[in-house]
């Protein structure tokens, strides 16, 4: 948490989205709080199927959103889904839905369906939206906007990726990251590189630029910092 607090202060961050937060309801708020921020949690409240297809070593998962305290939040707008959470803020250009998502590759079919239902509800929300997350779509080419593989595949991961991409296309969402590597990890004796983190937005003009930074802590994902073209009525930053 100390490293995150330093980053929030040095980069003057207003919105922080974290996937695989590994927070639990047993943690006390002071342990996970960032001074000057409100915290919105999407803790994992389900168990993974412990089968040969399960890739995770814990049941912690989850996503969280930190919002600087002087951002104006729409009352009762915070909710959560499968390892995901969202909240709506008020800005000079209207309400903006901020979402943070983590569809684990170890979800079963029912959990994948529940995730997609929640994600679709946010993608198709009437407000403008900025959706951040580790979407675990290694077979998606974000340059072409297609899934690399047979369209009639019975593979659970391929089906999920096709359904998520279809949801994005149907809603007319834009994405920012194309061929940048967002995760680099050692896999056996090889280095595996992939683009599985993404930022979706309902209007490309909501974000002016983004930059990749070194991973935080023990994460094998890069940190992504973006500049948003929005201002909150009670916030001096944009």
Q: Is the pLDDT of residue 236 over 70?
A: no
User: Which helix (H) or strand (E) is 114 found in, with range?
Assistant: helix 109-123
In this predicted structure, which of 46-55, 70-79, 88-97, 220-229 has the lowest mean pLDDT?
46-55
The model's pLDDT over 39-48, given as tens digits with 9 standing for 90+, comes to: 999 989 888 8
Q: Would you say 110 and 117 are in contact if contact means Cβ atoms under 8 Å apart?
A: no
- CA-to-CA dists, residue 197 to 102, 136, 194, angstroms: 9, 7, 9
Q: Name the band, by pLDDT with cuts 50, 70 and 90, for residue 189.
A: confident
Q: pLDDT by residue (tens digit) across 143-172?
A: 999 998 777 778 899 999 999 999 999 999
pLDDT band for 238, please (50, 70, 90 cuts).
Answer: very low
Place of tokens 């499968």: 82
- Asked whether the predicted pLDDT for residue 52 surpasses 70, the reply is no
CA distances from 221 to 50, 95, 118, 217 (A): 24, 30, 24, 10
């Amino acid at each position: 948490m100390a490293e995150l607090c330093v980053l929030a202060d040095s980069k003057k961050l207003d919105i922080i989205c974290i996937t695989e937060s590994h927070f639990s309801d047993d943690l006390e708020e002071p342990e996970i709080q960032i001074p000057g921020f409100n915290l919105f949690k999407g803790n994992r409240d389900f168990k993974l199927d412990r089968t040969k297809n399960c890739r995770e070593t814990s049941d912690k998962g989850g996503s969280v959103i930190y919002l600087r305290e002087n951002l104006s939040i729409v009352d009762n707008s915070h909710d959560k889904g499968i390892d995901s959470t969202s909240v709506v803020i008020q800005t000079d250009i209207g309400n903006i839905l901020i979402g943070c998502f983590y569809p684990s590759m170890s979800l079963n079919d029912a959990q994948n369906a529940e995730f997609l239902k929640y994600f679709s509800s946010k993608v198709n929300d009437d407000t403008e939206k900025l959706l951040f997350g580790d979407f675990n779509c290694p077979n998606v080419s974000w340059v072409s906007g297609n899934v690399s593989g047979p369209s009639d595949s019975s593979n659970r991961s391929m089906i999920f990726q096709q359904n998520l991409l279809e949801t994005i296309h149907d809603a007319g969402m834009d994405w920012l990251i194309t061929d940048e590597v967002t995760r680099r990890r050692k896999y056996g004796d090889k280095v595996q590189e992939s683009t599985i983190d993404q930022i979706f937005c309902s209007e490309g003009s909501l974000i002016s630029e983004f930059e990749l930074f070194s991973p935080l802590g023990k994460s094998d994902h890069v940190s992504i910092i973006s500049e948003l073209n929005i201002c909150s009525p009670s916030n001096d930053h944009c």
